[in-house]
Structure formats: C-alpha cells, structure tokens
Amino acid sequence: MCNKKSNKKKAENWLAIIAILLIIVAWFVGGQLENADILSSIQTKMPEIAKLKEVEESTYQIYNSNEEQLGYLTVEAAMGYGGPLKMAVAVDQNGKIFDLAVINSKETPSYLKKVLDAKFLDRLIGKSSQDEYSLGNGVDGISSATYSSRAIVQATIKGNRFIAAKMLGLDVPKEASPSLKFGTPEIILLLLFAVGYFAHKSTFKYTKIARWGTMLVGLFVLGFFYNKPFTLSMINQLFLGYFPPLYSQLYWYLLLGGIFLVLTVENKNPYCSWFCPFGAAQECMALVGGAKPRSTGKFKDVLKWTLRTITFLAIIAALLLRNPGVTSYEVFGTLFKLTGSGLQFAILGIVLVASLFIKRPWCTYLCPLGPVADYFTYLRKLIFNKWKKQKVNE
C-alpha cells in the first residue's frame, strides 16, 4: 500500500517536471512559428495592394496592379487583451489612412470576430495623421471588446504617424503620456481581497455572510458589469510574457498578483470560493435547486486527470500559437456578455442546469483554473519541502 503511494508520488513528480519541460519546448517552437510570412498575409487581407517594396524594417512602399504608388504601409503593434495586436496600416501620400488589416493578434477569436464583423476598421479609414482621436474620443469602441478596439486604434495611430513623420515628412501631434487607470473595478477588487483576508481569520464571526457578500459583488460587479473574471488566458499571458500596459490594465496585475501572492504565502486560493463571478452564479443556481456535492465514485481520478490533460494541452496550444486567448475555453463571457460560439452557449446551458443539482459542477470538473492552482500548489510544496530539508541539513 505504502509502496503504491510512493510510486504514485514519484510518477507525479516526474509528470510535473515533464510538464515544465514541454511548456518550455512549446514556447520556443511557438516563437519560431510566429515569424511566418507577413507579406503574404498583407496581400491576402489587402487585395488592392499588388506590390510591396521594403524601405525599412516593417515599412513598405506600396503599389497597385498598374504599378502606381499608393503610398506607404507599415506594421505596428499595440497591446490588446491577450497580447500584442499587429496592424498593417496603409497611408496615402497626404497622410490619410486608406486601408487597414489585423495581421496578427492574440485576442480571443470570438471577441476579435465581433470587432471585425462590426466593421470597426472602417471607422478609422480616412483618418489623417493630424487628427487627434482615441477610443471613446472620436472613435466609438465595440462594447465588450474594448481592449481589442483600443489596441487597433493605438496601433493604427502609431503606424499612421510613423509614416507621416518618417516617410512623408509631415508634422504630427505629440503623443500624450498615458495616465494610470485606477477606477471602480480596481477599488472593488482590492476590497474583495481585503474582506476575504479578514473573513479567513478564526476570530471573524460572520464568515458565511462575508463570503456571500463577496460572491454577490463578484457576480454582479466583476461579472455582469465589468466582465473581468480570472481566466486561463491570463495564465497563458504570464507564460508568454505578454504583460499588458500597467497604466491601462492595473486590474490585471492586481488580480493575478493578489491570487498568486495569497497562494504562495498562505497556501489558500482567495479567488475561487470567494469572489469568482461564475462560481457565484453556480452557487445561486444551487440555492434554487438545492444542489449538493456529488460523488463520481471510482471515476473521480479519471475525470480529474482528463481535465488536467485538457488544460495542459490548451496551454501548450496557446504557447505554440503565441495566442493566450485562443484556448481560453471558459464560458464566463458567454454568461456575462452573451458573447461566444454556439458550443459555448450549449456548455453554459448544461452547466447552469447541472448547477441546480450538482454543487459547482464547472469548478469541480471543468474549470481549467483548478488544475493550474493545483499545479502551482504542488510546485510550491515541492520547493518548500526541498528548502526545509536543506535548512535542516545546515
């Protein structure tokens, strides 16, 4: 019995190491794949352009099929929700944008599709390098895809002004320095962490009330109002090193920083049971249907390892594609912003109905963040034990 347990532990240790090695390999391979042919992508997405002549890195003189020069094109990037979003910006001889295309993006496909289907790029066509505009100021964003809309506008402005200044010799307005965005979601997030911290103390009497309070705030404010839950996409961003700008996405740093800090120091998950909006939605359904934790008998381990495998493959695919949002299969946005594919709506429907009878079915059997937290806790324990052993030997 003891031998069996020790063998299982050994196998888990090896799996943990192999997982890290595979993540590193996928990271390198993804880097090589990313440098795919950008030129053919431009010509496919901008059929008016027949010929490109490189004048400097990522900047081209562009011609139509009659060999007439149309102007210049440059590829510029800005940070979107999932990572850098690359735009091809075509500018005429007067400094006006006449064509645009998203060449490469790390956004969640359904969100980017929403932006492109709404003909958002057309709102920027005809803008001049002299025009002063930003998202919400001269250009309306696409609701629930604000990060993608902002990245498109920022990359477009950068590209347009670069061509105007460097290629056409025109004067361009100076870029205003961005200011730190510290608003309601950030304040609420800090308050939720603070309430969770005090409610965890053994002297605190109203733990149940505090937990329901944080869950409902999480559900309505972080979920339905802001749609800012913790997702696999954020973990993929960490692995890929796509850190969003601090000034515009302070929330990202507070959420991830807070969760991992508490996991490291206290070995407790401050998010899932306390203010995860989707967890709260399931618990509300459970109140209606009287759901209970349900056993899966001898299949418990099989289901646990299936979810771990799917999560691991999702992370590897995100690293290979250099796209953190692509494998973020959660149905959070489907519930809170009604954005998602037909399949996601089907999954959401099944999960919500199941929540009436099974306690937190998504969190228990389907959420990719469970295996991520398990893995982190496992590594933490491994490192902590080694460090403790070393200290004893000293």
Partner 1 sequence: MEKTKSKRIGEIVVIAVVIICLGLISIQLVGSIQHSIDLNF
Dig out the tokens for 241 from the structure. 């090193």
Enumerate the H helices of the chain as residue ranges.
2-34, 38-45, 109-117, 146-162, 184-199, 207-217, 232-240, 250-266, 277-289, 300-321, 332-336, 342-355, 361, 369-393
Q: Contact at 8 Å (CB) between 262 and 204?
A: no
CB nearer to partner 1: pick between 196 and 371: 371
Residue 371 CB neighbours (<10 A)? 20
CB nearer to partner 1: pick between 103 and 280: 103
Three-state SS for 162? helix
CA distances for 181 relative to 155, 194, 220, 248, angstroms = 20, 20, 21, 5
CB nearer to partner 1: pick between 185 and 325: 325
Question: Any idea what DSSP says for residue 70?
Answer: E
Dig out the tokens for 271 from the structure. 């998010």
Cα 329 to its chain centre, rounded Å, is 11
CB nearer to partner 1: pick between 13 and 309: 309
Minimum gap (Å) between residue 303 Cβ and partner 1: 6
Which residue in the block uniquely carries the two structure tokens 């998950």?
269
Minimum gap (Å) between residue 320 Cβ and partner 1: 9
For 25-48, b/e burial (b = at least 16 CB within 10 A) is ebbeebeeeeeeeeeebbbeebee
Dig out the tokens for 38 from the structure. 């950008």
Sequence letter at residue 17: I
CB nearer to partner 1: pick between 85 and 124: 85
Minimum gap (Å) between residue 33 Cβ and partner 1: 8
Question: Given the rule CB under 8 A, which residues bind partner 1?
Answer: 36, 41, 102-105, 109, 112, 294-297, 299, 303, 306-307, 310, 313-314, 317, 321, 323, 326-327, 329, 341, 343-344, 346-347, 350-351, 354, 358, 361, 365-366
Minimum gap (Å) between residue 313 Cβ and partner 1: 8
DSSP letters along 326-370, please?
TT----HHHHHS--S-HHHHHHHHHHHHHHTTBSSHIIIII-THH
Distance CA 104, CA 38 (A): 9
Minimum gap (Å) between residue 211 Cβ and partner 1: 25
Minimum gap (Å) between residue 16 Cβ and partner 1: 23
CB nearer to partner 1: pick between 101 and 167: 101
Distance CA 381, CA 379 (A): 5
CB nearer to partner 1: pick between 62 and 326: 326
Distance CA 332, CA 321 (A): 22
CB nearer to partner 1: pick between 226 and 332: 332
CB nearer to partner 1: pick between 112 and 286: 112
Minimum gap (Å) between residue 151 Cβ and partner 1: 15
Minimum gap (Å) between residue 208 Cβ and partner 1: 26
Minimum gap (Å) between residue 172 Cβ and partner 1: 30
